[in-house]
Structure 1
Amino acid sequence: MVLTDVLEWAGLAALCGAAALAASIWLQAETARAGSRSRQVARLPEQPEPVFLFDEDMLIDSSAAGRALLDGDDTDGRRADLSDLAVVREVLGKRFYGLEEIDAVEDEAVFAARDTLDGYELLVERLDGILRLEVRGIDQPGKNDARAPAALHALEAEYETLRSTMNLAPYPIWRVDDGGEVSWFNGAYSDLFHRTHGTRPQPGQRLFQSGLDSKPSGSRIRASISIPGQDSFYWYDVWIARHDGYRMFYAVDVGAVVNAEIAQRNFVQTLTKTFAQLSIGLAIFDRNRQLALFNPALIDLTSLPADFLSARPNLLSFFDRLRDARMMPEPKNYASWREQMADLVAAAADGSYRETWSLPSGSIYQVSGRPHPDGAMAFLFEDITAEVSLTRRFRSELEVSQTIFDHIDDAIAVFGANGVLTLSNAAYRDLWHVDPDASFAEVTVFDATRDWQTQSRPTPVWGDLRDFVSGTGERSTWWANVAMNDGTEVICTVHPIQDGATLVCFRSSAVSKTGPVTPGLIQADAL
C-alpha cells in the first residue's frame, strides 16, 4: 500500500516536471519570435522600399522610403482630418488597385499596380495584430534589377527632375489606365480640380469627360469643364497620346480663344441683322473675288435670285448676271466688257469707284466700291431715283422761278437771314450793272450796298437797309426814295419774308402810280 502511494506521487511529480519543461520551451520560442519582430521593426528605416507598420489605424513605424513617399505627396493639407492608415491608403491608392480592402486582410494579400509597367506590387500582411504594408518589386521577364548604387542614384535624380518638371507645367496633364481610372496627374490638374470642385482629386473622380478615352491617339479635342452652380465654363484643347496600357492627356487653356470666337460670332450676327435692315444693297467679295456676304436689299435692288447669290459667284459672274438682267447700263462694246470690269475692280480696290447708273427701266442707282481688310472688296447699291427726280424737279422749279423773276420790270434782290444775296433778276443786274452769278464768292448785303452807294447820291437808306437785313427783332415793310447819280429817282421797298430773309425791290418813280411820297411805312393801298 505504501509502495503504491509512493509510485503515484512520483508519477505526478514527473508529469508536473514535464509540463513545466514544455511551458518553459514554449515561452522561450515566443520570446525569440517577439524579439525577431522587434528586430524587424527596428530595421525598417534600413529598408530600400517603402514599408509601413500599423497598430490598428496608428502608424507605429515606417522605412525611410516610406517617410519620403508621404512627405512628397500633396495631401498634407488634409491629413489633419484623416487617420494614419487612411493617409497611407490614399497615397498608395493612386498607384495600386483595391486598397479599400486592406482592413479585410486577415493573413496576407497582394495588390497589383494600376500601371502594368510599374514593376512593383503592394504586400499587406497581418502579424499578431500588427498590419505591415510593403511596396516590393516584382520580377519581370527580360528585366534586370541588379543595378549599381550609382545607377540607382542617377535614376532617382532623373525621377525627381521629371516629377518636378511635370508638376511645374502650367497645363493639366493626366494619365488614364485601361480601366478608365485616372492613375496619375500633375499639379496643374490638381489645382484645376480644386478650382472647379473645391476639393482635391479623389480616386475614381474625373475632371474631363470620359468620352475623351475613346478618341484615337494624336487627336485634339476641344473640351469644356462646367463649374457647379455657375453658367461659366473652362475651355481646353486636349491632345491624346496612347501608350501600352494607358493614355496620356495634355490640356491647353483656350478660354480666351473661345471667348474671342463667341464675341466675333455675336458681332457678325449683329452686323448681319443691321445689314438686313439697310435699304442699301451690300455685296462683299473676299480676296479671291467671291461673294462672301450680301443683304436682302441687294436681292430687291438687283432682282438676282437668292440661290445664285448663295452659291458665292465670283465678281465677274456677278456683274455678268447684272448685265443679263438689264440691271446695269448697257455696254456699248461687248468686246471691251472684261477690260471695263477689270478697271472697275481696280478702281474699287483703291476706293475711287463711284458711278451713277441710269437703268433701262428708268431707275437710277448709285454704285460705289470700297476696299476692305485682307484684300476684300465691298460694293454698295443705292436706289437714288426718288432723290434724283426730286432734285430735277426742284431744279426745274428754280429755273421757272428765275425765268419769271427775269421778266419782272422791277429790280429784285433777296437776302437770306445771314445777309447773303440768294436771288436776283435781270432788271436788278441792268439797274446796278452787276452780275452776282458771275463769281463763286458770296455777295453779302454789305457788298451790295457798297455797289449801290457808288451809283447813287448820298442817302442814309443803305445803312438802314443793312441794319434791317441783319436785325432779328420785330420787322415790317418800309420804303424810301433813292436818287441815282444821273438824277433818276428810284423807290426802294423792303419786305421781311419767311425764315428771316429780306426782299428788296427797286422801281423807277417814272413808272410808279403813286408818285413820290415821303419815306416811311408803306400804305396798304399803295401796294
Structure 2
Amino acid sequence: MVIGLFEWILLSFICFAAALGAVTLLTLGNRRKPDAPPPQPPLIEDDQTWLFDGAQLIQATPSSRHQAGAGELPDSWDSLRSALVARFPDFPDSQDQVSTSRGLRLTAKTPGDPGVLEFEWLDSLLRVRLIDDRRRKIEANLTRALRDELANLRNTVNRLPYPIWRTDDAGQVTWSNAAYNRLGREMHREGEVQAPLFPTPALMPERDSTRRVAAGRPDAGPKRWFDVTAIPDEHGRLYFATNVDAVIEAENAQRNFVQTLAKTFAQLSIGLAIFDRRRQLALFNPALVDLTALPAEFLSARPTLLTFFDRLRDQRIMPEPKNYSSWRHQMADLVAAASDGRYHETWSLPSGSVFSVSGRPHPDGAIAFLIEDITAEITLTRRFRSDLEQGQAILDRLDDAIAVFSADGHLTVTNAAYRKLWSVDPEMSFAETSVIEATRCWQKKCRASPVWGEIRDFVELRENRSDWWAQVQLKSGESLACHVHPIQSGAAMVVFSRITTDVMASAMMQPHLDQPAESRLMAGR
C-alpha cells in the first residue's frame, strides 16, 4: 500500500499531538493542584516563616503576619520582598536567584541588628525563614520578668500578716497563704486533720460581703475574732481575714465601762440625761425619772432633745415660757449654750421645788444635762438670809454703834447707829475695811487717845482676851464709852455708847483701859 503525502502529514500531526499531550500530563502530575492541601514541611514556631509555591504564598506562621503592615499576611513573593527589602537590601527579585543546592542566607543591613533571612528549597517549594534573636531575647526577658513578678507576689502574699485563702464552688480550700497556714497550725493539734478554719459557705451566703466570725476550737482557749471579706470570681471565692481581737477587747472594755458608769449613775441623786450628736437620748439614770416624773418607757424610747424638753414643759417640770412662739428659738439657744458649756439655770417650779440645771459638752458632739433638786439648799439659804436680815434689822434698831471684826481683822458687820456716828457706810465700798482703816476713821473724829492702838492689838489677838472698856471723846466734846468684847471664832465686837448713868454702872463692872494689861487679861480667865 502506497502512502501519499497527505497521509504522511496527518500521521505526523497525530504523533506530535500525542507527544504534546504526554508532556502536558507529566508536567501537571509533577505540580500540586491549587486546591490540594499544601505539604506540611517542618516550620519553626519561634521564627517567622513563609512557604511559597512559585510566586504564590501557600503557608505562613502566625508571627509573620505583621510584616506586611496593618496585620495583613503577605500573599506573594513581591509583597514579602517589599516588606523586608528595607531591612535586607539583597532580597532576591525572583526565586530563580536562590540556589537549589545551597539556598541563600542574608544578614540585616543595620549594624547591631541580629536578624537573619534564610531561603531554602524543599523540592519544588521555597521556604523563607526570618530568624530574629531580638524577639527571642525580648520573650526571654519577658518570661524572666513574669517569673520574678510571680515570685515577688508570692513572697509578698506569704509575708502578709492577714490570712488569705481561696475556695472552689464546693467550699474546699484550694489555695492559702502562709498566714492562713500558720493560723491553722495554731488552731489544730499536731497530727489531727485540719478542718477549714472558717465555715465559709455558711458564713458568706451573699455574693460579696464582710462578716465578723470567731476561729478556733472550744477547748483551745479564748476565741480569735476576724473580719472576713469574700470576693467572688470565676474560680470560686477569694477570702481576706483581718484579726480584730483588739477591737473586740476594746468593745468589751467599753461595754464594761458603760455598765460601771450606769451603776454609778444609778446611785447619784442628780438626774442625768446624755444626748448623742443626733440629739437623741442615749443615757439616763433613775434619779432623772424620780426628779422629772417622766415615764421610764418614754425615756427608754430615746426621745429627741426637743421632745424631752417639750414633755418637761407639759409636766410643768420647767418654767413656763413667756412666749410660746419663741420656744423653739429658746431651745436652740439652750442647745448652743450647752454645747459650749455655758448653760446653767435655776428653775423655780410652781410646786415650790427648785432645780439647778446645767449643760455640759461631751466628746463626739454629745451633750449632758444635769438636773439637781436644790429645794432644801435654797430653803436653807433663804432662811439663813432671812435670819441675817432679821438680825441686821435688830442691830439697826439699837442706839449703840456696833462694829464686828472677823478673825482676820476685817470689818464684817455694822449697824445704822455706827454708820450715822462715823458718817461712813462700809457696805458701799468694793474693798473690805480692815481694823486699821476703821480705827483711822474713828481717830479722825475723836481727840487723841491710846484706845485705837489697843483695839487693833485686841482684834489681832487669838486667845486670852477679855471684855474691857475705855472712854473716848469726840472732837465735838461729847464723850463715848467704847466697849470691846471677844466673840466666837476669833471675832471681836466694838460698841460705842453715849455716856449715861446706866452705861457708867455697866462699865464699872468691866476692866478699864487705865488698868494694866496683865490685870485685864487675868480678869478674862
Bin the TM-score by the shorter chain: 0.5 to 0.7
TM-fit CA distance, 1:459:
2.3
Q: Deviations 1:81-128 (Å, cap 9, x if unpaired)?
A: xxxxxxxxxxxxxxxxxxxxxxxxxxxxxxxxxxxxxxxxxxxxxxxx
Corresponding residue of 1:514: 505
Note if 1:394 corresponds to 2:384.
yes
Corresponding residue of 1:205: 194
CA distance in 1 between counterparts of 2:440 and 2:388 reads 28
CA distance 1:446–1:508, shift in 2 (3 Å): same
Question: Does the aligned pair in 2 maintain the 1:421–1:443 contact within 8 Å?
Answer: yes
CA distance in 2 between counterparts of 1:230 and 1:498 reads 74
Of the structure 1 ranges 442-451 and 226-235, higher mean CA displacement relative to structure 2 is found in: 226-235
Tell me which amino acid in the other structure corresponds to 2:179. A
1:327 pairs, out of 305, 317, 331, with 317
TM-fit CA distance, 1:393:
0.7
2:477 pairs, out of 483, 487, 493, with 487
Corresponding residue of 1:452: 442
Corresponding residue of 1:461: 451
2:157 pairs, out of 158, 163, 166, with 166
Within-5 A mapping of 1:341-352: 341-352=331-342
CA distance in 2 between counterparts of 1:154 and 1:429 reads 105
TM-fit CA distance, 1:510:
2.8
Note if 1:239 corresponds to 2:242.
no
TM-fit CA distance, 1:208:
2.7
| SS in structure 1 of the partner of residue 505 of structure 2 | coil
1:434 pairs, out of 420, 424, 435, with 424
TM-fit CA distance, 1:420:
1.0
Tell me which amino acid in the other structure corresponds to 1:208. L
CA distance 1:523–1:489, shift in 2 (3 Å): farther
Tell me which amino acid in the other structure corresponds to 2:193. G
Question: Does the aligned pair in 2 maintain the 1:481–1:516 contact within 8 Å?
Answer: no
CA distance in 1 between counterparts of 2:287 and 2:378 reads 20
**Structure 1 unmatched ranges of 5 or more:** 1-147
Corresponding residue of 1:414: 404
Corresponding residue of 1:283: 273
Question: Does the aligned pair in 1 maintain the 2:466–2:521 contact within 8 Å?
Answer: no
Note if 1:215 corresponds to 2:176.
no
| SS in structure 2 of the partner of residue 264 of structure 1 | helix
Tell me which amino acid in the other structure corresponds to 2:478. T
Q: Deviations 1:437-496 (Å, cap 9, x if unpaired)?
A: 111210111111111222222222222221221122322222222233233332222222
CA distance in 2 between counterparts of 1:287 and 1:376 reads 5
CA distance in 2 between counterparts of 1:180 and 1:523 reads 104
TM-fit CA distance, 1:419:
0.8
CA distance 1:157–1:357, shift in 2 (3 Å): closer
TM-fit CA distance, 1:414:
1.0
CA distance 1:190–1:361, shift in 2 (3 Å): same
CA distance 1:323–1:149, shift in 2 (3 Å): closer
Question: Does the aligned pair in 2 maintain the 1:207–1:225 contact within 8 Å?
Answer: no
Question: Does the aligned pair in 1 maintain the 2:340–2:361 contact within 8 Å?
Answer: yes
Corresponding residue of 1:499: 489
| SS in structure 2 of the partner of residue 514 of structure 1 | helix
Within-5 A mapping of 1:226-375: 232-241=222-231, 247-375=237-365
TM-fit CA distance, 1:436:
1.0
Tell me which amino acid in the other structure corresponds to 1:457. R
RMSD of the alignment, in Å?
Answer: 3.4
Question: Does the aligned pair in 1 maintain the 2:410–2:433 contact within 8 Å?
Answer: yes
Of the structure 1 ranges 404-413 and 361-370, higher mean CA displacement relative to structure 2 is found in: 361-370
CA distance 1:368–1:157, shift in 2 (3 Å): closer
CA distance in 2 between counterparts of 1:279 and 1:328 reads 18
TM-fit CA distance, 1:296:
1.5
Q: Deviations 1:208-243 (Å, cap 9, x if unpaired)?
A: 344666533433232334699986553321223456
Q: Rg larger in 1 or in 2?
A: 2
CA distance in 2 between counterparts of 1:443 and 1:296 reads 49
Question: Does the aligned pair in 1 maintain the 2:358–2:371 contact within 8 Å?
Answer: yes
CA distance in 2 between counterparts of 1:515 and 1:223 reads 95
CA distance 1:192–1:479, shift in 2 (3 Å): farther
Q: Deviations 1:131-163 (Å, cap 9, x if unpaired)?
A: xxxxxxxxxxxxxxxxx9999877755653443
Q: How many residues align?
A: 376
Q: Deviations 1:237-257 (Å, cap 9, x if unpaired)?
A: 122345678654321122332
TM-fit CA distance, 1:379:
2.5
CA distance in 1 between counterparts of 2:155 and 2:418 reads 100
Corresponding residue of 1:189: 180
CA distance in 2 between counterparts of 1:494 and 1:417 reads 14
| SS in structure 1 of the partner of residue 472 of structure 2 | strand
Question: Does the aligned pair in 2 maintain the 1:509–1:515 contact within 8 Å?
Answer: no
CA distance 1:163–1:203, shift in 2 (3 Å): farther
Question: Does the aligned pair in 1 maintain the 2:466–2:520 contact within 8 Å?
Answer: no
TM-fit CA distance, 1:523:
12
CA distance in 2 between counterparts of 1:343 and 1:162 reads 60
CA distance in 2 between counterparts of 1:149 and 1:435 reads 108
CA distance in 2 between counterparts of 1:491 and 1:207 reads 106
The alignment-based identity, stated in percent, is 57
Corresponding residue of 1:135: none
CA distance 1:443–1:241, shift in 2 (3 Å): same
CA distance 1:165–1:493, shift in 2 (3 Å): same
CA distance in 1 between counterparts of 2:193 and 2:232 reads 20
CA distance in 2 between counterparts of 1:264 and 1:286 reads 16
Of the structure 1 ranges 299-308 and 262-271, higher mean CA displacement relative to structure 2 is found in: 262-271
CA distance 1:436–1:246, shift in 2 (3 Å): same
CA distance in 1 between counterparts of 2:463 and 2:162 reads 79
